[in-house]
Amino acid sequence: MLRDELIEGIRSRKAKVGVIGLGYVGLPLVLRFGEERFTVIGFDIDPVKVSKLNAGESYIHHIESSRLQTLLKQGQFEATSDFNRLSEADCIIICVPTPLTAKKDPDLQYIETTADAVCKTLRKGQLVSLESTTYPGTTEEILLEKFRTTGLEVGKDYFLVFSPEREDPGNPKFSTRTIPKVVGGVTEHCLEVGKVLYNSVIDRVVPVSSTRAAELVKLLENIYRSVNIALVNELKLLGDRMGIDIWEVIDAASTKPFGFTPFYPGPGLGGHCIPIDPFYLSWKAKEYDFSTRFIQLAGEINTAMPHHVVEKVGEALNARSRAIRGSKILILGVAYKKDVDDVRESPALEIMKLLKERGAELVYSDPYIPRMHKMREYDFSYMSSVPLNEDSLRSCDLVVITTDHTNVDYQLVVDHSRIVVDTRNATRRVTRGMEKVVRA
């Protein structure tokens, strides 16, 4: 049987793995499979990225180039933009972006395009795994439907699973290998092959009954975070009016040894999952005549946080007889979270956009983002990071801490700034000058 042949190929490491999308999800998978003696082909539409990877150069901060170079020397990895070579892979893993449209609807163009490419070369004995975050039903409604046109039978001729990515860039406690892997198959045979594939590189695999269940698992994980972050963001706004420090409250509540998990407020949500995933489920729920009011409310609160930060900036400047218009403002940290080189959906971008619309002169400093690039909704590609020193701080009317990188000297920031608006409680250990700090 093709199933048994593929399983044996995976277990013997003779099966070749193809990873589509060589970003923050796909590249760690390439390394994990390669380090377990699989031969891996990486596929990406970006020729610059492909060229760098083939030269052994990692473009992601927390991924060491030496790991790539080892696989290249051993002949276990190559990157390509030739999607006709998908036929060479026995196991194909799809890790492409799933953003939102301007109207906050799912944008599945990358999954659609990738599914079409796989469909052109799909052959007997292949496994296809979708890892991109999406709404329940995507694997069956898009991939399975497209693959039916080949005349191949799922679960017999080829195998189709969904396994949500759980990467947390920059997290030193968990790696691709140690984060449990959820897998759901279209059929029992699909699930069996999917479990064997991921068991070969991941410490623990968690099977679920269907691809739809697996798709909802990822949404639940991130909606859980979104809702709880929205809760503390709303309490931060209330605490601000009541004169209560929400950070002190969270620290005290965290001493309860049961029934409480701390979440922390901030300038908004960022990253490739949490700001996006709730909208995927809300959109799909409408098909069932169901309104996800709780989830939508959380989204509204989190989306409004950059506006709150800008209002605090305005108040801080007004207290010193200045306006936002004409003021020089330094944005400290543009990555979506600390210690990563990723700006996707970063709340700092929306804050910069709002401040620019109000007439501010902007500069930014981020040790992980030396230069900005153009994005779908924002274009700050003309900006480069300025050094964070006495001169750059003193030249600005106000500093907004939007990302709390651990390698920043916040005492230096406070000492040499006129005003600091801190959205991350990054100045909590500063010992002097706190009269210049405004928490937002």
What three-state secondary structure class fits 288? helix
CB 164 within 8 A of CB 135: no
H helices of 135-289, in order, are 138, 145-148, 188-199, 211-242, 246-253, 277-285
With both helix axes pointing from N to C terminus, report the angle between 211-242 and 246-253 in degrees, rounded to the nearest 10: 120
What are the residues whose beta carbons fall under 8 Å from the beta carbon of 380, sequence distance 6 or more?
349, 352, 364, 372
What does 331-358 look like in DSSP terms, one character per residue? EE--SSSTT----TT-HHHHHHHHHHHT
**CA–CA distances in Å: residue 177 to residues 25, 41, 162, 182, 294:** 13, 19, 18, 13, 34
CA–CA distance, 194 with 154 (Å, rounded to integer): 13
Question: Which residue is listed with tokens 């380090």?
Answer: 35
Estimate the share of the chain in helix, then strand, then coil, as percent rounded to the nearest 5: 40, 15, 45
Per-position b or e across 243-252, b if 16+ CB within 10 A of its CB = eeebbeebee
Q: Is 319 exposed, middle or buried (0-12, 13-18, 19+ CB in 10 A)?
A: exposed
- Taking each helix axis as running N to C, give the angle between helix 211-242 and helix 277-285, from 0 to 180 degrees, rounded to the nearest 10: 110
Angle CA(26)–CA(29)–CA(32) in degrees, nearest 5? Answer: 160
* Structure letter (DSSP) for residue 21: -
> Does residue 60 sit in helix, strand or coil?
coil
Say which residues have a Cβ less than 8 Å from residue 136's Cβ, sequence separation at least 6.
212, 213, 215, 216, 219, 281, 284
Residue 137 burial class via C-beta count within 10 angstroms: exposed 0-12, middle 13-18, buried 19 and up: middle
Do residues 392 and 363 lie in contact, with contact meaning Cβ atoms separated by under 8 Å? yes
Residues annotated as catalytic (active site), given as ranges = 273
The contacts of residue 77 (CB under 8 Å, 6+ apart) are: 30, 34, 39, 40, 41, 42, 53, 68, 71
